[in-house]
């Protein structure tokens, strides 16, 4: 079977650093307005711990209960401050954008191969390939 490559979706949060931060910090107990206030004060909330400075110890993960009974440990990203830096968010944002661009490039290559195959076959041959 030959499947037409699907164009990767560019998530809305990849359109600006601010939207990226808001999306990444969505697990925080703070409201969007509060999170933006911290962001504008150049003291964005750490999105690893949601601003609490503590995270569950993943080495205590249970196959049945997951992290339900795991102890809290100091957040390794912010070292218990509950805050991160704009630079770190910017770097994560760039990494995500680059990951999306790689997916888009791979899609374009695959689409070009797909179209090249389609062009070389008759309509019947192509349909036969599609519906196998």
What is the contact surface with Zn ion in residues (CB under 5 A)? 46, 48-49, 75, 77-78
φ, ψ (nearest 5 deg) of residue 86: -60, -40
- Taking the least distance from each CB to Zn ion, the nearer of 48 and 89 is 48
Q: Which residue do the tokens 């630079």 mark? A: 87
Residue 74: partners with Cβ closer than 8 Å, 6 or more residues away? 53, 54, 55, 80
Cβ 73 to Zn ion shortest distance, Å? 11
Q: Which residue do the tokens 């888009």 mark? A: 104
Using only the alpha carbons of the chain, give its radius of gyration: 22
- Taking the least distance from each CB to Zn ion, the nearer of 87 and 124 is 87
Q: Which residue do the tokens 């076959």 mark? A: 121
- Taking the least distance from each CB to Zn ion, the nearer of 12 and 37 is 37
Cβ 62 to Zn ion shortest distance, Å? 23
Residue 25: helix, strand or coil by DSSP? coil
Cβ 9 to Zn ion shortest distance, Å? 29
Cβ 124 to Zn ion shortest distance, Å? 60
- Taking the least distance from each CB to Zn ion, the nearer of 83 and 126 is 83
């Amino acid at each position: 079977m030959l499947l037409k490559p699907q164009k990767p979706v560019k998530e809305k949060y990849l359109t600006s650093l601010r939207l990226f931060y808001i999306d990444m910090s969505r697990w925080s107990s703070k409201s969007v307005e509060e999170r933006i206030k911290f962001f504008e004060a150049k003291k964005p909330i750490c999105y690893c711990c949601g601003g609490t400075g503590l995270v569950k110890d993943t080495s205590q993960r249970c196959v049945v209960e997951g992290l339900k009974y795991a102890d809290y440990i100091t957040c390794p990203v912010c070292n218990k401050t509950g805050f991160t830096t704009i630079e770190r968010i910017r770097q994560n944002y760039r990494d995500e954008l680059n990951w999306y661009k790689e997916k888009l490039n791979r899609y374009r290559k695959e689409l070009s191969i797909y179209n090249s195959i389609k062009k070389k076959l008759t309509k019947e041959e192509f349909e036969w390939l599609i519906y196998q």
